[in-house]
Structure 1
């Protein structure tokens, strides 16, 4: 059984190459699989391995990056969800190419237990910040899914389709939280007064919200060999 850990943290990385090399050296000869991206703005990864290896990885990341275990989304897989280990230095940990944004000033987090209550507010515009092929297999009831081929398209969608004077309450979500965190920061920094995002993303919602109370419809696309997950994959 593989333990799968999905995580990210926005923080100033003084030397991304040095952190990449240190992480590679520490885990190259272990059973760790998956991808971690390191950039000046932070770290983002989904890794799989034995429970002991994942514990060791998270201890390493806590010491080097300040990542708290409570922020990590866990799941399991009976087969290897990744084929190899990749640790890369990137310009951004989540690409937003055409728009400048400070990801350390995001919108307001909403815990999974409080998400349904927010969705019940008729004044809230609910946005799915994932790519179209992801939202097609599952999304939240009532969500607007912009036609996004890549996350970089989100800024243009906002500029051409939304108005900060009309859309005064916006809530958004994505797989693990990283995209909507950056998107929420972008919208706040462009005048939208109330911007919320699902803390921990869909993965945390599937983990914590009972299926009988869930507003989630369908499956959640994931970027590994499992392809998609649902409430059934989070039985506790």
Structure 2
């Protein structure tokens, strides 16, 4: 797939719905999407579906037909990537989860359907200029570091679950303000907006379709783009360009850069920002220690990382003492 010239469309979608048997739903979805050549990562839970996928361009119409014919998925918005090389996913993985987004909330304690008012890109731009408006980034620190809306509050948090109480405390004395929340594709704000309304916030809004849909509408309608930098995405691309500004720096040399990578040491895989010069100098590693390890014989490397399962260390990005430049510019 990495070498393939097949044209593919990267997209994401989510839908809150009642799934009685997530395992059976998962199994059938896997069969159906495999037959369409779909690759990606999908979470299924009793509360719905959350998907990031890529579809062969020549089968995209068939995929849309499948979605439209599905009794449960019909009407789901497809958020098409705005900066796509088709190399976003290399296999299809569908997992059954307790929730489609880990939020730590007890849904039985509030009305999850009482969501905030959805805003189009034009409506967002208009309301964001109101002095009585506060814009809140509901994403994690490594996401907002490379891109965010102008004048947005960007909480220094590692997870969405952590962001919910942090934002609530930050805005405790501002419950009468216009609160506009945004995230990548909108799914986090669906739950967060209902939670904050439950907590007494009077005027809660959310960017419909998130940053991805905002960028599409701005381009198609010739609107002012109030997002600066890159939109971090959770696939092999690790980011899509929304504006030409680079607001972050290489974590190793401090020069302007907003390209995320994973440390090439399989026993580390730290997610961090690295420029091309540092990538060459450090062989794609986050530290001299990791560089030394990847130059050892493979069997020796396996012994060193035996029993470790690092995955993609998104939560440690920017937190590691190995990285010298961790601050980022705000707009």
Q: How far has the Cα of 1:52 moved from its partner?
A: 4.1
Higher-strand-fraction structure = 1
Correspondence 1:74 to 2:72: no
Matched ranges for 1:1-236 at <5 A:
1-62=7-68, 63-68=70-75, 71-75=77-81, 77-100=84-107, 102-163=111-172, 166-210=175-219, 213-231=224-242
Is this contact kept in 1: 2:138–2:183, CA < 8 A? yes
1:2 & 1:194 partners in 2: Cα distance?
A: 40
The alignment of Structure 1 onto Structure 2 pairs a total of residues equal to 232
TM-score, normalised via structure 2 length? 0.65
Query: Kindly tell me: are residues 4 and 195 of structure 1, through their superposed partners in 2, closer, same or farther at Cα, counting changes over 3 Å?
Result: same
SS of 1:225's partner is coil
The higher radius of gyration belongs to: 2
TM-score, normalised via structure 1 length? 0.89
Q: Which structure would you say has the larger RCO, counting Cα contacts within 8 Å and 6 or more residues apart?
A: 1
What stretches of structure 1 of length at least 5 have no aligned partner? none
* Residues 205-214 or 115-124, more deviating: 205-214
The list of structure 1 runs, each at least 4 consecutive aligned residues, that deviate by more than 4 angstroms after superposition, is 164-167
2:85 & 2:154 partners in 1: Cα distance?
A: 32
